C-alpha cells in the first residue's frame, strides 16, 4: 500500500476515500483495458480499479460504479495540452 488516497464518487452521491495499492499497466488478460491504480476502501474491505481516465471499477464484478474527479480532471488537462502541442483545436 502507498500513502496516496483518491476521493471518489460512487453510485451517484456516495463518497469514499480509496487507499492506492499500486499502479498497473494496460492488461487485457485481467480485463484492464487502460492503465490505472488498484485501490481499496479500507472501511468496507472492497477492491476497486481507478483508470487513468477517472472511471472507478468495482472488483471483482468489473463494472463502473463511479468517478474520481481529480484523476478525470488531470486526464482532461493532459488531453488539452496534447491537442495544443499537436496544433489541434
Mean pLDDT of 29-58: 86
Check residue 70 and report its DSSP letter: H
Are 33 and 26 a contacting pair, CB within 8 Å?
yes
- End-to-end CA distance of the chain: give it in Å, rounded: 40
50-83 residue pLDDT tens:
988 889 999 888 889 999 888 888 878 888 888 8
- The domain in which residue 78 lies consists of 5-86
Torsion of CA 75, 55, 71, 73, to 10 degrees: 50
pLDDT at 29 exceeding the cut of 70? no
Query: How confident is the model at residue 30, as a pLDDT?
Result: 57
Domain count, the chain: 1
Q: How confident is the model at residue 10 (pLDDT cuts 50, 70, 90)?
A: very high
Amino acid at each position: 500500500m502507498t500513502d496516496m488516497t483518491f476521493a471518489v464518487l460512487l453510485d451517484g452521491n456516495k463518497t469514499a476515500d480509496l487507499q492506492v495499492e499500486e499502479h498497473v499497466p494496460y492488461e487485457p488478460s485481467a480485463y484492464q483495458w487502460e492503465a490505472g491504480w488498484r485501490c481499496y476502501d479500507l472501511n468496507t474491505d472492497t477492491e476497486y480499479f481507478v483508470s487513468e481516465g477517472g472511471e472507478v471499477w468495482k472488483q471483482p464484478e468489473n463494472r463502473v460504479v463511479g468517478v474520481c474527479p481529480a484523476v478525470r480532471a488531470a486526464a482532461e488537462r493532459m488531453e488539452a495540452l496534447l491537442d495544443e502541442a499537436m496544433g489541434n483545436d
